[in-house]
Amino acid sequence: MKFKLNFSSIFAQLLLLMFVIVWLAPTFGLFISSFRDKDHLAISGWWTSLMTTEINEIHRTNGKDKQIKENGYYVIKDNIFDNIEGKMISSFGVTSKKINEFNVGDTAVLKDKSLITVYENGDYEWKSEKEFKKKKGRRIFITATSPPNFTLNNYKEVLFKEGLGQAFLNTIAVALPSTLIPLIICSFFAYALTWMTFFGRDLLLATIIASLVVPLQMSLIPILTIYNDFGALFGIAAKSYPGVWLAHTGFGLASTTFLLWNFIKSLPKEMMEAAKVDGANHYDTFVRIVVPLSIPAFASIFILQFLWVWNDLLVGLVFLDKHPSEIILTAKLKELLGSRGENWEILTTGAFISMTVPLFIFFSLQRYFIRGLVAGSVKG
């Protein structure tokens, strides 16, 4: 049996493998980072999470309240790590300019003639012939090695302290209606554009396709202004869940209608004619024939629309307030980041939590996804 190499197939598989690695690497890194503590996350990448890390820290000794008299000296001693296991000190210093001036076990002589000794496990001893007068202790600069440290504290803080749990529920309340409403409306619309004859049908279809190129940002403020006018007329707040549902519905109508129209027009014409001969009206044809055959298309569009709404920040900021009962997940993550890009340990955890629902939706409906996307491009 001869084995023939197909270089085009091998190249395609290698290219696919590269795309998978490029997509999975940051996702895996985000997952690992969500379990790391703040100190490790700030100084090293996720790929070093299983390695021992060298860190520089600043600690402060106890003050005069903790001093005792021992062998003719006034002594303050304790552990700078507060009995946290695993960290080992390699060097220390007493000034910010020379943080590695002394090795562990050495004794540093301070300006006031007091002596301070730091040991590998974090124990220190600060002694002086004179009584300590300052309420605050002495700063110690250390260089320590820290083993890999993984914790669930990030998840506890994000879900129960930072309000991300409520934002998660708010986003579900926004995403599901904003996905189902345009899907239902556009399914009827796409059927009408495909199998119903009426004046101006082609012009309407061309208008829908042309509207796909209109930037979202151009229409946000005009639509919000219209909502404000209608809200004032009927006594309804423009920034509310119905407002953001309608906004997402409006922005998704053109693309959803086009995708469904492209799929529905590929259905066999003979089947529609047979249904008409049997006495079925358009509604019966749509419900009994088109909908069951279009499940792959519905699933594909549901995934695309849901992912867009779930990851949206701009529409949510414009059409919803930042009240805890309305703020969405992406807006909450933006707040957690802080004005100076802080709180990375919280941000990575929150970002990974936000990925769980889209991933669940995608893997639940993935068997329909490719079928729905390519079915409209091939005549069966």
Going by pLDDT thresholds of 50, 70 and 90, the confidence category of residue 380 is very low
Mark whether 282 and 368 lie in a shared domain.
yes
Phi-psi region of 83 (alpha: psi -120 to 50; beta: other; left: phi over 0): left
Euclidean distance between CA atoms 68 and 75, whole angstroms: 5
| Domain-located, residue 240 | yes
- Regarding predicted confidence, which is higher, 375 or 233? 233
Phi-psi region of 279 (alpha: psi -120 to 50; beta: other; left: phi over 0): left
| Domain-located, residue 138 | yes
- Per-residue pLDDT, 370: 67
| Domain-located, residue 28 | no
* pTM of structure: 0.70
pLDDT, average across residues 99-113: 88
Mark whether 58 and 133 lie in a shared domain.
yes
pLDDT at 26 over 80: yes
Phi-psi region of 33 (alpha: psi -120 to 50; beta: other; left: phi over 0): alpha
Average pLDDT, the chain: 82
Provide the token pair at 98. 């020379």
**Tally of domains within the chain:** 2
2-6, 54-58, 106-110, 154-158: the lowest-pLDDT one: 2-6
Mark whether 117 and 89 lie in a shared domain.
yes
Mark whether 106 and 241 lie in a shared domain.
no
Mark whether 242 and 367 lie in a shared domain.
yes
| Domain-located, residue 205 | yes
Going by pLDDT thresholds of 50, 70 and 90, the confidence category of residue 96 is confident
102-111, 178-187, 219-228: the lowest-pLDDT one: 219-228
Provide the token pair at 14. 């290698």
The partner residues of 125 in beta bridges, in order of sequence, read: 77, 117
Mark whether 139 and 61 lie in a shared domain.
yes
Strand order in the sheet with 88-93: 53-60, 139-146, 88-93, 102-103
Going by pLDDT thresholds of 50, 70 and 90, the confidence category of residue 30 is confident
Per-residue pLDDT tens digits for 211-249:
888 787 777 777 777 777 777 777 777 678 888 888 888
Mark whether 363 and 244 lie in a shared domain.
yes
Mark whether 282 and 331 lie in a shared domain.
yes
Euclidean distance between CA atoms 60 and 38, whole angstroms: 19
At a CB cut-off of 8 Å and minimum separation 6, what does 336 contact? Answer: 158, 162, 164, 343, 346, 347, 350
- Per-residue pLDDT, 373: 59
3-state helix, strand, coil in the chain (%, to 5): 60, 15, 30
Mark whether 58 and 181 lie in a shared domain.
no
- Per-residue pLDDT, 238: 66
Residue 260's nearest CA partner among 220, 289, 302, 231 is 302
Mark whether 257 and 290 lie in a shared domain.
yes
Residue 187's nearest CA partner among 260, 122, 136, 241 is 260
Going by pLDDT thresholds of 50, 70 and 90, the confidence category of residue 177 is very high
- Per-residue pLDDT, 240: 80
Q: How far is CA 63 from CA 60, 68, 70, 77, 350, in A?
A: 9, 11, 16, 10, 39
| Domain-located, residue 305 | yes
pLDDT, average across residues 314-342: 77
- Per-residue pLDDT, 268: 85
Kind and range of the H or E element at 78? strand 73-79
Q: What percent of the chain is predicted at pLDDT more than 90? A: 8
Q: Which domain holds residue 138?
A: 53-146
pLDDT at 374 over 70: no
How does strand 123-128 pair with strand 73-79?
A: antiparallel
Going by the DSSP 8-state scheme, the letter that residue 94 receives in this structure is S
**Contact, 343 vs 336, CB < 8 A?**
yes
User: Cα 360 from chain centroid?
Assistant: 14
pLDDT, average across residues 84-88: 73
Which of 146, 172, 191 represents a domain boundary (last residue)? 146
Strand order in the sheet with 73-79: 68-70, 73-79, 123-128, 115-118, 107-109
- Per-residue pLDDT, 379: 46
**Contact, 87 vs 145, CB < 8 A?**
yes
Mark whether 181 and 223 lie in a shared domain.
yes
At residue 184, what is the residue type? I
Provide the token pair at 129. 């012939």
- Per-residue pLDDT, 185: 92
Going by the DSSP 8-state scheme, the letter that residue 110 receives in this structure is P
pLDDT, average across residues 12-41: 84
Euclidean distance between CA atoms 59 and 122, whole angstroms: 10
| Domain-located, residue 368 | yes
Q: What CATH number should be reported for the domain holding residue 358?
A: 1.10.3720.10
pLDDT at 342 over 50: yes
Going by pLDDT thresholds of 50, 70 and 90, the confidence category of residue 176 is very high
pLDDT at 376 over 60: no
Mark whether 219 and 357 lie in a shared domain.
yes
Going by pLDDT thresholds of 50, 70 and 90, the confidence category of residue 183 is very high
**Contact, 313 vs 331, CB < 8 A?**
yes
pLDDT at 283 over 70: yes
Which of 111, 146, 181 represents a domain boundary (last residue)? 146
| Domain-located, residue 12 | no
At a CB cut-off of 8 Å and minimum separation 6, what does 20 contact? Answer: none
Which of 146, 180, 215 represents a domain boundary (last residue)? 146
| Domain-located, residue 287 | yes
Half-sphere exposure of 183 (CA within 13 A, CB side): 20
Residue 179's nearest CA partner among 306, 36, 18 is 306
Q: What percent of the chain is predicted at pLDDT more than 70? A: 91
